Structure 1
Amino acid sequence: MPSSPLAEDTIAAIATPQGRGAVALLRVSGPDARQVLRRIAPGVDDVQPRAQRLVALRHPETGELLDRGLVTYFAAPASYTGEDTLEIATHGGVLTPQLVLDALLAAGARAAQPGEFTRRAYLNGKLDLLQAEAVADVIDGRSRALHRAAVHQMERGLSRRVSELRDAVIGTEALIAYSIDFPEEDEPPVPPARIVGSAAEVIGRIKALLATAPEGELLRDGALTVLAGRPNSGKSSLFNALLGTERAIVTDIPGTTRDAVEASASIDGYPFRLVDTAGLRETADRVEGIGIEVARRYLSAADLVLFCIESGRAVDHDERAFMADVDPARLVVVRTLADRHPGESANADPSGIPTVTLSATTGEGMTELRRVLLAKAFGGILGEPGEAPLVTRERHARALRSARDELASFLDAMDDAVPMEFAATHLRAAVDALEELVGVVSVDDVLDRVFGTFCVGK
């Protein structure tokens, strides 16, 4: 954890969303927090830690009464930021909290930057960087699966796993140091095979953690799932059925969907971004043609493609050609409109592409489709317990890949009979990558990216 002197200034911000509501919360953090309170609450000489007090809040320059609010004081270091901190609960709405914030700024506080409270918590050793990112995911997350992963990460689940990996690499370094300390021995006290085995074991553990990255990263934004097919193939009906609401216009007129329609959906707590696209066909209609071009762009970026083909007819040449151009790992064939062709069943495509027969009208086959979607998008983490650490950001995966590659380079160097003291530089680089991941080594541009995504009051 980085060591940082306590901040010299005191910051303030509204911590709740603007708008009509019963209560708003303002936060103040820094060495002058209590002095700022005395200036907006004349007559309040002191406040006891972790005890609420009802006070009259006034503007320090005009004396105007702004509100009566509940103040809670958290003394350093036993606070979220590690500094003296105040939480002031006022009446909600747009105007009252803003007037109280203006009073706090007039009393000597500075307006907080996005994420500055959590950044101070990190710099003061209250959180590591992985925990800080988890705070943002708890706030921004829109799926139960991401919420579970973020809460576990806030409780240091991923941090502990990374710390264990770091300790294991350092342990391998220690084995080398022990061997180097006995150069006069014919038989080193630590056999090289043990050192190599130690490094290889860490690589295996890093690979296992990295295996969660593809699905873990999808938890944050949702799996981009594009519905494609000919006009009138049942795409829009299926889109609405997956959403549980009528978002797309459904008619029997070919070409009704002229543009992509996107919406978020949750399937068993896992997030999906559904996109209903224009029917794929040759057309002279310029507007429809633009819609088809948009559909192709979505298809190129899709995590999953639901290719809709009406039940009761054979798959034509153009449809087979389309499916041949899509990565089978991303493709699900959906035989739609099953209510019009009762008794038809779908078997898996000989190429291994899953095929589901369904009716968006009756609901037949929808449970099976949801099962297939979950397995395709999140199959690697579906069986994981809620407290299992997951890699949910590209920053995490990049650092782990760097550590893995450095360890692999170390093994290559050992195979090439490079002296251990030189080969060990790769071990030190692997430790550095893992330390940067949790924030033991603070890199300013990394911190700016992490905390710049936070809301102001956090």
Structure 2
Amino acid sequence: MNSSLLSADTIAAIATAQGRGAVAVLRFSGPGAADVLRRIAPALNDPQPRLQRLAAIRHPESGELLDRALVTWFPAPRSYTGEDTVEIATHGGVLTPQLVLDALFAAGARPAQPGEFTRRAYLNGRLDLLQAEAVADLIDGRSPALHRAAVHQMERGLSRRVSDLRDAVIGTEALIAYAIDFPEEDEPPVPPARIRASAQELIARLDALLRTAPEGELLRDGALTVLAGRPNAGKSSLFNALLGTERAIVTDIPGTTRDALESTLSIQGYPFRLVDTAGLRTTDDVVEGMGIEVARRYLSAADLVLVLAEAGRPLDDEETLFLATLPSGRTLLVRTKADRREDPATDHGDGIHVSASTGAGLPELREALLRTAFGALLAEPAEAPLVTRERHARALRTAREEIAGFVAALDDEVPMEFAATHLRAAAGALEDLVGVVSVDDVLDRVFGSFCVGK
């Protein structure tokens, strides 16, 4: 879709989920919104801005009464899209909203594309690109932690941080301009050391923001947490205990779990994707072998691995070797069946001791999961901006690499005016991040995942 054509017509859509309900909201926006409103609500001659009015909604061609609805008029530019916009609250259900939408089309509106309302808000300067993505996170987010990050981003928390970084890059360029303006001076008004220090400070600020990226991206889908260990180590019991429900079959027969079970878990508002896998062992059973192969695929993609072994016994050589192959910072050793060990005073090996049957150790395990998967975010202030998308991290990494390239060029005694091209590229990456430079294919990717009414 060509962004230059977006405001040439009036778009309409149902903005609430379809199905049985008390109220449905429809919205239409564009230069012809006032005309469309007059055609479907002829009795509403002089709507007052942002004042909800009860009006009869009629089909513009047949005059048939479709509903009596609440109508709100938002004249440009003080509307969500920045254009003339109308919201209609009809009775809910499937048929009534659709009949009113058909009437809007007959009155001159066209169907909105996914995300087109928010795309118009961005193009009309009502939102920047980071805020627009936050709208999508507010709609699609399934964890309180992502919701908090999205609300803060809607309030321009991340946008302000990126804008400040861009201003600082431009400020460093300005220092270079001062230095270049006085080439004949032995000591220019801006010492090179100050310019270099300014660039180094920018790198440190970008690094601080980028540190939130790995965990920030997990807020959307959840940290993939895989339970692994030999058969009958208590994986399914612990899986059920953490979820608080019986999802996995639990027996004393080794090899009961033949496939991977996945479920979502929230710990203090932070999302986890908990996966119970088949026990890892050598087997001639074809079906069990397929389950073990599935388990290994999950392990290769895991953000966090819980290695389970029964309490009260030392790890065998195979378990020790398996632990050594896993990343230490993303692996937790969990000692299961702690209530069954014969001598509670003797605990072989490290790890978190838990009992799925009594619940002992589960609070400590949940805390360890939270700290291991989201420790960097927990250390951030409550309202600190977070990097929650790969697009954000990619642009910030590009800016950092360019500034580092500028510093390296200075170290190699490259003339400052040539080294400064790195700063221009860094500023460009930050501008792309907030959407200062709009590119149609980038916008299509950002808004294409939105629901139609947004």
TM-score (norm 2): 0.96
Cα distance between partner residues in 1 of 2:315 and 2:6 = 68
1:224 aligns with 2:224: yes
Match 1:356 to one of 339, 352, 358: 352
User: In the TM superposition, what is the alpha-carbon distance from 1:314 to its structure 2 partner?
Assistant: 2.4
Asked whether the equivalents of residues 6 and 83 of structure 1 are also in contact (C-alpha less than 8 Å), the reply is no
Between 10-19 and 92-101, report the one with greater CA deviation: 92-101
Identity, % of aligned positions: 77
1:239 aligns with 2:239: yes
Matched residue, 1:127: 127
User: In the TM superposition, what is the alpha-carbon distance from 1:181 to its structure 2 partner?
Assistant: 1.1
User: In the TM superposition, what is the alpha-carbon distance from 1:345 to its structure 2 partner?
Assistant: 6.4
- 1:26-425 matched pairs, under 5 angstroms: 26-341=26-341, 343=344, 349=350, 355-425=351-421
- Inter-CA distance 345–359: structure 2 relative to 1 (3 Å threshold): farther
CA deviation string 1:292-343 (max 9, x = no partner):
1111100100000111111232212221221121111221111111121262
Asked whether the equivalents of residues 43 and 55 of structure 2 are also in contact (C-alpha less than 8 Å), the reply is no
State the secondary structure of the residue aligned to 2:8: coil
Asked whether the equivalents of residues 314 and 349 of structure 2 are also in contact (C-alpha less than 8 Å), the reply is no
CA deviation string 1:53-85 (max 9, x = no partner):
111112222222221110011010000100001
Unaligned runs of 5+ residues in structure 1 are 350-354
State the secondary structure of the residue aligned to 1:379: helix
Between 376-385 and 35-44, report the one with greater CA deviation: 35-44
Asked whether the equivalents of residues 345 and 357 of structure 1 are also in contact (C-alpha less than 8 Å), the reply is no
Asked whether the equivalents of residues 4 and 124 of structure 1 are also in contact (C-alpha less than 8 Å), the reply is no
CA deviation string 1:395-414 (max 9, x = no partner):
11100110001001111111
Cα distance between partner residues in 1 of 2:345 and 2:21 = 54
- Inter-CA distance 304–155: structure 2 relative to 1 (3 Å threshold): same
Q: Which amino acid aligns with 1:265?
A: L
Q: Which amino acid aligns with 1:93?
A: G
Match 2:428 to one of 414, 428, 432: 432
Between 286-295 and 373-382, report the one with greater CA deviation: 286-295
User: In the TM superposition, what is the alpha-carbon distance from 1:125 to its structure 2 partner?
Assistant: 0.2
Q: Which amino acid aligns with 1:66?
A: L
Match 2:450 to one of 437, 449, 454: 454
CA deviation string 1:134-170 (max 9, x = no partner):
1111111111111111111100001111111111111
- Inter-CA distance 252–227: structure 2 relative to 1 (3 Å threshold): same
Alignment length (residue pairs): 451
- Inter-CA distance 51–198: structure 2 relative to 1 (3 Å threshold): same
- Inter-CA distance 314–186: structure 2 relative to 1 (3 Å threshold): closer
- Inter-CA distance 77–6: structure 2 relative to 1 (3 Å threshold): farther
User: In the TM superposition, what is the alpha-carbon distance from 1:388 to its structure 2 partner?
Assistant: 0.4
Cα distance between partner residues in 2 of 1:5 and 1:56 = 32
- Inter-CA distance 344–373: structure 2 relative to 1 (3 Å threshold): farther
Cα distance between partner residues in 2 of 1:366 and 1:116 = 46
RMSD over aligned CA atoms reads: 1.5
Cα distance between partner residues in 1 of 2:444 and 2:188 = 47
Asked whether the equivalents of residues 226 and 304 of structure 2 are also in contact (C-alpha less than 8 Å), the reply is yes
TM-score (norm 1): 0.96
Q: Which amino acid aligns with 1:230?
A: R
Cα distance between partner residues in 2 of 1:347 and 1:67 = 72
Q: Which amino acid aligns with 1:415?
A: D
Q: Which amino acid aligns with 1:318?
A: E
Unaligned runs of 5+ residues in structure 2 are none
Asked whether the equivalents of residues 129 and 439 of structure 1 are also in contact (C-alpha less than 8 Å), the reply is yes
CA deviation string 1:272-304 (max 9, x = no partner):
000111111222222221111111100100000
Asked whether the equivalents of residues 312 and 344 of structure 1 are also in contact (C-alpha less than 8 Å), the reply is no
Q: Which amino acid aligns with 2:319?
A: E
User: In the TM superposition, what is the alpha-carbon distance from 1:35 to its structure 2 partner?
Assistant: 1.0
Q: Which amino acid aligns with 1:445?
A: D
Q: Which amino acid aligns with 2:363?
A: T
Q: Which amino acid aligns with 2:225?
A: T
Q: Which amino acid aligns with 1:376?
A: T
